[in-house]
Amino acid sequence: MANEIIVIGSGAAGMSAASAAKSKCPEAKVTVFTEDEDVAYSPCAIPWGIEGKIPWEGLVMHTPEFYAKERGIDIHTRTTVESVDDESKTVTAGGAQYHYDSLVIATGGKVFVPPISGANLKNVFVVRTVRDGKNIQAALKDATRVVIGGAGVIGLELAVAFKEMGKEVTVVEMMDQVIPRIADRDMADVIQKDLEGRGIRFVMKAPLQSVNGQDKVESVSAAGETIPCDVVIFATGVRANLEIPKALGLDIGHLNAVIASPTMNPYRRGRLVPDIFVAGDLVQCSSAVMPGATMSQLGSTAVKQGMIAGTNAVCKDKVLFGEVASPWVSCIGDNQIAGTGLSKGLASWYGIDVAEGKAEGTTRARYYPGGLPYRVKLLADRTSHRIVGGQIVAGEGATGRIEWITMAVVCGMTAEDFLVKAETAYCPPTSMVRDPVLWAAEDLIKNLKQ
Among 26, 37, 52, 53, binds its own copies (CB under 8 A): 53
Judged by CB under 8 A, how many residues of this single chain contact its own copies? 70
For 366, list phi and psi in degrees, rounded to 5. Answer: -55, -35
Closest CA to 332 of 200, 429, 231: 200
Rounded to a whole number of angstroms, the minimum distance from the CB of residue 304 to its own copies is 7
Strands (E), 88-130: 90-93, 96-99, 102-105, 109-111, 124-126
**Contact positions with its own copies (CB under 8 A) in 323-342:** 323-331, 336, 338, 340
Residue 374, classed as helix, strand or coil, is strand
**Contact positions with its own copies (CB under 8 A) in 68-107:** none
Q: Which is nearer to its own copies, 94 or 400 (CB)?
A: 400
Give strand pairing partners of 378: 357, 390
Closest CA to 350 of 338, 339, 362, 341: 341
Distance, CA of 246 to CA of 293 (rounded, Å) = 19
Q: What is the dihedral of CA 306, 310, 312, 317, to 10 degrees?
A: -110
CB-based contacts of 442, cutoff 8 Å, min separation 6: 357, 359, 419
Contact region for its own copies (CB under 8 A) — 90-98, 237-245, 253-261, 427-435? 427-435
Name the residue type at position 320.
Answer: L
Number of separate helices (H) and strands (E) present in the chain = 13, 28
Catalytic residue at 44? yes
CA 236, distance to chain mean position in Å, is: 12
Among 190, 203, 204, 419, binds its own copies (CB under 8 A): 419
Rounded to a whole number of angstroms, the minimum distance from the CB of residue 291 to its own copies is 16
Among 66, 267, 349, 368, binds its own copies (CB under 8 A): 368
Rounded to a whole number of angstroms, the minimum distance from the CB of residue 367 to its own copies is 4
Rounded to a whole number of angstroms, the minimum distance from the CB of residue 417 to its own copies is 9
Task: Please pick, among 25, 44, 285, 411, the residue that the annotation labels catalytic.
Answer: 44
**Contact positions with its own copies (CB under 8 A) in 370-399:** 396-399
Rounded to a whole number of angstroms, the minimum distance from the CB of residue 320 to its own copies is 5
Q: Which residues bind its own copies (CB under 8 A)?
A: 12, 42, 44-45, 48, 53-54, 58-59, 61, 288, 298-301, 303-304, 319-331, 336, 338, 340, 365-369, 396-404, 406-408, 410-411, 413, 419-431, 433-435, 438
Active-site positions read 44
